[in-house]
Amino acid sequence: MLHILNENHNISNLVDLTNNTAPLNVLYFTASWCGPCKKISPHVETLSNEYPKVNFYKIDVDEFEDLTSEASVNCMPTFLVYKNNQKVGTMEGVDENKLTNLVKNNL
């Protein structure tokens, strides 16, 4: 399921909040002006439909600067994958196959 973050959280708070509801949580850091983000966004939506038990959180880096900084995000798009309150993977860029495998391999 794809969620658009609309309130401020820190990483541990957000992961704690989502841990009880999904086996895997994907934090998707993006920006409205980011061309590569626009390119991979449809694939993220497809993945969220293919894996409805996985929570995907779309986080606008301009709106949530503190969370972005805490997560050490330096480029967009960046994907952080959490399982059982632990980060199990990171991906930067628009490689759709790599993102799909990151999700599948951590379920």
Residues that are catalytic: 34, 37
CB 100 within 8 A of CB 56: no
Tokens matching residue 92? 């930067």
C-alpha 62/C-alpha 73 separation (Å) is 12
CA distances from residue 8 to 5, 12, 65, 68, 88 in whole angstroms, order as listed: 8, 12, 9, 11, 23
